[in-house]
């Protein structure tokens, strides 16, 4: 059975898609730890990041860095956190999170009912920042 992320990638489940290319997608997390919290997910349905091809891991990190740079401009946190935990969904996903302290990386503080209009606004701002930075992978769906 396909993971929820594979279903999001296939367009079966709605998402706020930020980025799409041949190897990965980026979308806003539905349970964000902070405004702009994104997930970088490979198209290949692989459970553990250590099982990915090295080139795919490098690509996920490169895309995550591009998104993180825009998050820094848009949300102005002290740092951009990057985390691979892998317990929530058995499909590799890299969290790219605007943070001000280590406490911002605590999943017990996730917003389980985020304001949908704010998520829409964050999506617009992230896409605009990526376009302005010259990235071709900006999603239109």
Whether 140 maps to a domain, the answer reads no
Give the residue among 33, 104, 26 at the shortest CA–CA distance from 67: 26
The DSSP H or E segment spanning 6 is helix 4-9
Residue whose token pair is 């998402």 = 15
Whether 138 maps to a domain, the answer reads no
Whether 136 maps to a domain, the answer reads no
For range 8-23, the mean pLDDT? 98
Whether 17 maps to a domain, the answer reads yes
Query: Considering the entire predicted model, what is its pTM?
Result: 0.97
Task: Give the model's pLDDT for residue 141.
Answer: 86
Both structure tokens of 132: 């302005």
Give the residue among 82, 44, 36, 85 at the shortest CA–CA distance from 63: 82
For range 63-79, the mean pLDDT? 98
Q: Domains in the chain: how many in total?
A: 1
Query: How much of the chain, in percent, has pLDDT values that exceed 70?
Result: 100
For range 59-69, the mean pLDDT? 98
Whether 19 maps to a domain, the answer reads yes
| Band of residue 1 on the pLDDT scale cut at 50, 70, 90 | confident
Q: What is the mean pLDDT of the chain?
A: 97
For range 17-32, the mean pLDDT? 98
The CATH number of the domain holding residue 21 is 3.30.428.10
Provide the domain limits for residue 116. 4-131
Query: CA 27 to CA 103: how far, in whole Å?
Result: 22
């Amino acid at each position: 059975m396909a993971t929820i992320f594979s279903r999001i990638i296939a367009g079966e489940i709605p998402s706020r898609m930020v980025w799409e290319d041949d190897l990965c997608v980026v979308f806003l997390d539905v349970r964000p730890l902070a405004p702009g919290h994104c997930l970088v997910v490979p198209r290949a349905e692989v459970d553990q990041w250590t099982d990915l091809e090295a080139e795919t891991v490098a690509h996920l990190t490169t895309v995550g860095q591009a998104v993180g740079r825009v998050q820094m401009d848009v949300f102005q946190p002290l740092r951009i956190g990057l985390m691979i935990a892998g317990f929530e969904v058995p499909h590799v996903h890299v969290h790219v999170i605007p943070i001000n302290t280590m406490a911002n990386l605590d999943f017990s503080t996730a917003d389980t009912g985020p304001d949908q209009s704010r998520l829409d606004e964050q999506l617009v701002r992230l896409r605009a920042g990526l376009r302005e930075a010259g990235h071709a992978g900006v999603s239109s769906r």
